Amino acid sequence: MATNMAHLSCSFRLSVLVLFLIVSLFFFAFVHIPVLTMPLCVFVFVRVTLLHRIRVACTGADMTRDKEQSMDDQSPAVVRKGIDVTPNKDGGVCKVVKKWGEDGDRPMIGDKVTVHYTGKLLNGKKFDSSMDRKKAFTFSLGKGQVIKGLDIGVSSMQRGERCILLCKPEYAYGPAGCPPKIPPNAMLQFEVELLSFKGELLTDDGGITRRIKVKGEGYNNPNDGSTVHVHLEGYCGERLFDSRDVHFVVGESEDMGVPLGVDRAMEKMQKGECCMLYLKPKYGFGKEGRAQYKIGPNSDLVYEVTLINFEKAKESWELGLKEKLDFSAGAKQKGTQYFKAGCYLQAVVQYQRIVSWLEMEFVGKEQQQTVQNFLLVAQLNMAMCYLRLKEYALVVENCNKVLELDEKNEKALYRRGEARLFRNEFNLAMSDFKLVLQVNPSNRAARSQVSICQRKIREHHEMDKKTYANMFQKFAEHDVKVWNNILQPEWTAFKIAICSLLGMCIGPYFTIRIVFSETEGHVFHNVNICFY
């Protein structure tokens, strides 16, 4: 109401000013009293203009104060209606649920969460929105990738939930703000919708997924060879099959009946951390299962793991050459033990240790041969493990590394040939087997593999002939259909048009007759030109 009155008052003053100017011009033109009229006119004009500007400024300020007041009024409402979701209950992040989630599950630390959000200052000014970009925002929860208030608020939400989060400055951008959009010590309001979340993948093949229930202390992690003290609870479906405190060496957990997935996760954990590990069969008990725990073949497992304490092993750079060679001998023996037991991934871990210790070791000629022998054995054995695991690309990779050290290594050539044969790279496989025969002409297995490659190549060529023959037959049938249904009618119309033109040109001298005949379902158009 006050704003409307201000506009009416300004309009009235302007009207009076216009009327006064007209009267002044009349006196100036006809009565000739310019000395009194014009200064008065200018004075009134300036006064009304200044009053108008002051009024507009005041009105704008009032509107801004009203808007800020409305947002300030809304802020206590969020605090009153919402719940404090901060761990220490200091009111730093208050939440009001606008739409409840679909289920009771909530994201954990380290989860990949996907949200839509809109962020505003308390005066209602929007400073960021994923909705405006039309692209949802994904981040790792609890990893410091967003402000503290969002980390805390989103961790309290359910999938599908939409809520308002009011974050105090200490849970937002603090005294520094985020210029130019967010001033210092600004309280922020977010509207957030949690679209989805999933655990953190610890392996490229998705075989180990981690979800952190309790964050650990500091940033120190166990390394390969560390001795760890953990509490385990293993589940197959809903059944608890293992619950115990156990000590084991990272990389050798199989000795204590702990699956590889738990072993590999150790290097990502901190002291005091409690997490859920979701293991695919490859990182659990595999296709054999584990009769001791009544676990069937190819079973998915879930472990709740708490890292109570650990003692780190020496890093590679802290070891002397003698220690590295002694440890390599132990790792070779342990890898052979795991290989014979069918634990191929565990064996690979042991052989990888040897490579990590010795690959970059530069020694004199006396010890060079010893180091090289360890590397050759480790990489050849890894190639054999990967053959059993059907990871043929890794077989080729490890054999290539062996051949860089020894280009005529019979085992490396043969195993690379086997991997290429399984990948249907018959010509490359046959080349490898022929190289084996050049190194050792009495190798019967290689000679047999050459014959198999030749037979596979012939079969492949025959298959190609049949495939391409059928393909060309289908192309020919397709071309006939196109001709009969599309091209032939157009060609007929073209011929009729030509005949019509001929009729117009030579009609006085010739008679043109178009004869239609049908043969085997196709219409043929014969054009007879008769002289007269």
C-alpha distances (whole Å) from 369 to each of 343, 375, 377 are 29, 10, 12
Say whether 197 is catalytic: no
Site of tokens 């099959």: 241
Catalytic residue selected from 190, 285, 310, 327? 190
Give backbone dihedrals phi and psi of 241, rounded to 5 degrees, phi first: -110, -10
Say whether 190 is catalytic: yes
Token pair of 133 as six digits: 């970009």
Helix/strand/coil for 178? strand
Say whether 344 is catalytic: no
Vertex 31 angle, CA 28 and 35, to 5°: 50
Catalytic residue selected from 147, 212, 295, 354? 147
Q: Report strand pairing: 188-198 vs 112-121.
A: antiparallel
Token pair of 307 as six digits: 């890292």
Catalytic residue selected from 20, 45, 127, 139? 127
First to last CA, the chain: 102
- Please say whether the beta carbons of 188 and 117 come within 8 A: no
Sign of CA dihedral 193, 199, 200, 205: negative
C-alpha distances (whole Å) from 258 to each of 20, 248, 286, 454 are 98, 9, 13, 46
| Rg of the chain taking only CA atoms, in angstroms | 42
- Please say whether the beta carbons of 262 and 232 come within 8 A: yes
Q: Which of 218, 311, 209 is nearest to 273 (CA)?
A: 218
Q: Report strand pairing: 162-167 vs 188-198.
A: antiparallel
Residues 6+ apart with CB under 8 A from 401: 379
Sign of CA dihedral 272, 273, 278, 282: negative
Residue 512, beta-bridge partner list? 529
Strand ranges (DSSP E) for 19-111? 83-84, 93-99
Catalytic residue selected from 171, 173, 197, 303? 173
Buried b (16+ CB within 10 A) or exposed e, 263-291: bbbbebbbbebbbbbbbbbbbbbbeebbe
Catalytic residue selected from 20, 28, 72, 128? 128
Q: Which of 202, 199, 174 is nearest to 188 (CA)?
A: 174
Say whether 117 is catalytic: yes
- Please say whether the beta carbons of 268 and 202 come within 8 A: yes
Say whether 173 is catalytic: yes
Q: Which of 333, 361, 359, 357 is nearest to 347 (CA)?
A: 333
Catalytic residue selected from 109, 111, 117, 285? 117
Say whether 128 is catalytic: yes
Catalytic residues: 117, 127-128, 147, 173, 190
